[in-house]
Structure 1
């Protein structure tokens, strides 16, 4: 994709799957993070992030919608941030924020969920 930088959630496939190696903020090699045996976990992270966005970035409402504890939501969003080197709460590098930022994440997560492999 043109104009997308490494660390941008829209770059290639941001979670498990054929991702080109790069180093995230945590300095981890992508090959060690994007393992095919983690697809179910990565799908869970993406679904949690979408639910978080759908609930106005409110942890309590997200946790209630997922029937889980708010700390579980925090953990999953933290893992997603480590893997993608991006935050659902930070504006984009080009200065976009608010609805544009949310739309960017929704598109990236939804697209990845549609094309990602599913475990057997």
Structure 2
């Protein structure tokens, strides 16, 4: 029987990467942080002003219009990026700092960033 060494799992490693990344990435009122959170099925994005600790805008695949879509997960992630860019522009933002949340910049996380760029946000 194999014993799992505590603190060596995938989730813990991702959390360590995220904490290491957060030392370098901070949002401000002029350039808030675009936080991407990924699960096995869904993806969400928030634009956060770290100065006051408040979420300015958010978008997710859990929303009704994206949930009813028959696209694959990567296409939905791109739509989330475009939607977050549209909402950020409406809130008066044009530049953000990208926070990948300890995930690799690949696949759905990169699709959110590409969608936000296509929507007019500067990352």
- Relative contact order, higher structure (CA 8 A, sep 6+): 1
Structure holding more strand per residue: 2
Structure holding more helix per residue: 1
TM-score, normalised to structure 1, is: 0.27
TM-score, normalised to structure 2, is: 0.26
